[in-house]
Structure 1
Amino acid sequence: MELNGRQRTHYPFSALVGQEEMQLALLLNAVNPAIGGVLIRGEKGTAKSTAARALAALLPPASQDGFQIELRSEQGVEILAGPTVANGAAPFVELPLGASDDRVVGTLDIEAALQHGRRRFEPGLLARAHGGVLYVDEVNLLPDHLVDLLLDAAASGVNTVEREGISACHPARFVLIGTMNPEEGELRPQLLDRFGLAVEVAGPTDPAVRAQVVRRRIAYEADPAAFVAQFAAEEEALAQKIVHARALLPQVALSDGLLELITHICAGSGVDGLRADITLYKTAQTLAAWEGRTQVTVDDVRRAARLVLPHRRRRQPFEEPGLDQQELEELIQQHQERSSRPRNREQESGDNADQEDE
């Protein structure tokens, strides 16, 4: 079976069981990579890497022409061809733990430029991930500055490398997926805040669900081709839904009232800065587009908040990340009551008179 130009041999995304929140977070980033990536936190054996690999096959095919790299120096601007992708399939690039900065962002050959006048740029993993998925397992074990580089590129969609008066710049639009086991250490709050969405995953506790997971995995290992064929229609439907949602996204409107709700929720949830507000806005819009709508609803904001806020809330030492659902509902209720409360005309007149007296 082929999907988006790639021969499918791995586990289908639609065959995953019991990880709906993780799947939704991944699909929203597939529609709108500007959300800023997904951090998946959880114990071993919860399909984190399986889901990341399966997502890449759902993405629209990469351009056969690749992309251009702009090389600038005192001698002027030179345009180089970027790396091409086999069969036009959306790439899946895995970042190894021991990767150097040059391996990630790319290398400028300064010696060749100075001695022979040849300006040369060796693309890194960010270039190879363009149009696809960049997967970072155990992201919490990477050096902080390297995580910063990844998050910068994911947020801006551009990678720039500068050395000795020479700079190389190229597009780097990809879905960033980071996974981690909290038992092996945490990310600093400054880095957590920069991941667009975060989800907590755990193994299902329902014996019937666990049995379904095992049954599907055994069937896949026994005959991968036959198993993949069973989910071909569902996979194709998801791939088309991503394409349609991407096209619809620019038309999605979010009202001023819902923007006020977003800022009310973020202010009341104990998050620092405004990144949460902006990400919640983008995620609510993307949810509406994913469901084929051009108007964002309160429920879109509610569902988006569950993905955007848990890892950004200020926590006490040893306190687990999370979002109090009752607190979220109370914040929504507060805003709705305030918005629906009619303003007394006499009060408005009195307010205006007070302002004139002042």
Structure 2
Amino acid sequence: MSTIKETIRPVFPFTAIVGQEEMKLALILNMIDPKIGGVMIMGDRGTGKSTTIRAMADLLPKIPIVQDDVFNSHPTNVELMSDSVQESISKGKKLLTTFISVPMIDLPLGATEDRVCGTIDIEKALNEGIKTFEPGLLAKANRGILYVDEVNLLDDHLVDILLDSAASGWNTVEREGISIRHPARFVLVGSGNPEEGELRPQLLDRFGMHAEIRTVKDPALRVKIVEQRNQFDQNPEVCLSQYQEKQDALKQDIANAQHILPDIEIDFSLRMKISQVCGQLDVDGLRGDIVTNRAAKAFAAYNGRIQVTSDDIKHVITLCLRHRLRKDPLETIDSGIKVEKVVGEVFA
């Protein structure tokens, strides 16, 4: 008789993924600091977008939650608790705690607003005076990752809901005068193929980072990728054991970076240069400045340093700004050449 552990589908190891450095870096930085605001990954079909995102979730340490809580409420952090858990604590109830893997929720393209946000049972509320809430995908994704494949094909109003929840950290459902809210803090990861249409500039701007991926052209690398995939499909356990050491090292690096992140400092002169780049590139609003500062700090933490350097900024600034240059929906996203040119001038 097989145990549950044996029946869970194995996940391709993150450290075994060849190439696609931009995408991997953007995901790692968002795991270190979810406040960066998620990542939009655009690229050709069959380039391993979904595989990489699922592999990333598998790298993260387990999180403590209040047992049987549908919102994955944190046992001690009030900001990450549902109202009902806060109420129970204020009444002095003892809550049991358990640990779960970081939630990785897929949002299907055909999802309705009710499926995403959750629904209130009006009948029960009116007849029995009980607020009954059927949680949606935003509740399940709290403190985890919400992944939307082909996000450019999703209804604009649903994308708006996702981005609003990701930014505020809360989801509110109102119906017939009854209102329920719950924490919805997640890293929003969208992927898509530019051939199938771009997101509106206003929506793109709400994603913290934008990674571009291309099909590998080098024949030797392509053979290596195919061989790795075949090896994993035939014997996942052997493949996982080969990469276990690298996986553990990366897990530790991410955990260490999360720990030292609050202590990271960035000099005023460097903050000025970031804002100078954003000004020269005519980036609307201040989101570009904020995200670049956060990403540079996360990158410094990932490398075990307390002080941000200009090299840290150069490593992340293109990922943070390239999608904010598009003013016209008919324009294509700059590959990063404009950003690199201005960065070269300002940080010379």
> So what's the TM-score if we normalise by structure 2?
0.86
**CA contact under 8 A between 1:41 and 1:180: conserved in structure 2?**
yes
The aligned counterpart of 1:50 is: 51
The aligned counterpart of 1:243 is: 255
**CA contact under 8 A between 2:201 and 2:329: conserved in structure 1?**
no
Residue 15 and residue 176 in structure 1: after superposition, are their counterparts in 2 closer, same or farther (change >3 A)? same
1:163 aligns with 2:175: yes
State which of 228, 231, 237 in structure 2 corresponds to 1:225: 237
> Does 231-240 or 33-42 show the bigger shift?
231-240
Give the whole-Å Cα distance in 2 for the aligned partners of 1:193 and 1:127: 24
The aligned counterpart of 2:138 is: 126
1:60-111 per-residue CA deviation (whole Å, 9 max, x = no partner) reads: 212242314326xxxxx96699xx9996111111001111112111212222
Give the whole-Å Cα distance in 2 for the aligned partners of 1:22 and 1:126: 24
State which of 82, 102, 121 in structure 2 corresponds to 1:69: 82
1:131-150 correspondence runs (5 A): 131-150=143-162
Does the residue aligned with 2:279 lie in a helix, a strand or coil? Answer: helix
**CA contact under 8 A between 1:63 and 1:88: conserved in structure 2?**
yes
Post-superposition offset of 1:17: 0.3
Residue 293 of structure 2 aligns with an amino acid whose one-letter code is Y
The aligned counterpart of 2:326 is: 314
The structure number with the bigger radius of gyration is: 1
Residue 153 and residue 101 in structure 1: after superposition, are their counterparts in 2 closer, same or farther (change >3 A)? same
Post-superposition offset of 1:328: 2.8
1:214 aligns with 2:226: yes
**CA contact under 8 A between 2:201 and 2:328: conserved in structure 1?**
no
**CA contact under 8 A between 1:41 and 1:199: conserved in structure 2?**
yes
Post-superposition offset of 1:7: 6.0
1:117 aligns with 2:129: yes
The aligned counterpart of 2:17 is: 16
Does the residue aligned with 1:154 lie in a helix, a strand or coil? Answer: helix
Does the residue aligned with 2:265 lie in a helix, a strand or coil? Answer: coil
Residue 207 and residue 57 in structure 1: after superposition, are their counterparts in 2 closer, same or farther (change >3 A)? same
Post-superposition offset of 1:50: 0.2
Q: Structure 1 regions of 5+ residues with no counterpart?
A: 1-5, 72-76, 337-358
The aligned counterpart of 1:339 is: none
Give the whole-Å Cα distance in 1 for the aligned partners of 2:21 and 2:186: 22
**CA contact under 8 A between 1:48 and 1:179: conserved in structure 2?**
yes
Give the whole-Å Cα distance in 1 for the aligned partners of 2:107 and 2:97: 17
Does the residue aligned with 2:26 lie in a helix, a strand or coil? Answer: helix
State which of 180, 192, 198 in structure 2 corresponds to 1:186: 198
Residue 182 and residue 117 in structure 1: after superposition, are their counterparts in 2 closer, same or farther (change >3 A)? same
Post-superposition offset of 1:285: 1.0
Give the whole-Å Cα distance in 2 for the aligned partners of 1:307 and 1:326: 12
> So what's the TM-score if we normalise by structure 1?
0.84
The aligned counterpart of 2:35 is: 34
The aligned counterpart of 2:215 is: 203
Give the whole-Å Cα distance in 2 for the aligned partners of 1:249 and 1:106: 34
Give the whole-Å Cα distance in 1 for the aligned partners of 2:261 and 2:214: 31
1:266 aligns with 2:278: yes
Residue 331 and residue 64 in structure 1: after superposition, are their counterparts in 2 closer, same or farther (change >3 A)? closer
Give the whole-Å Cα distance in 2 for the aligned partners of 1:54 and 1:141: 24
Residue 86 and residue 56 in structure 1: after superposition, are their counterparts in 2 closer, same or farther (change >3 A)? farther
Give the whole-Å Cα distance in 1 for the aligned partners of 2:260 and 2:344: 27
Residue 11 of structure 2 aligns with an amino acid whose one-letter code is H
Q: Structure 2 regions of 5+ residues with no counterpart?
A: 1-6, 67-71, 74-80
Does the residue aligned with 2:305 lie in a helix, a strand or coil? Answer: coil
Report sequence identity in percent: 49
State which of 270, 285, 293 in structure 1 corresponds to 2:297: 285
Post-superposition offset of 1:251: 0.5
Residue 138 and residue 273 in structure 1: after superposition, are their counterparts in 2 closer, same or farther (change >3 A)? same
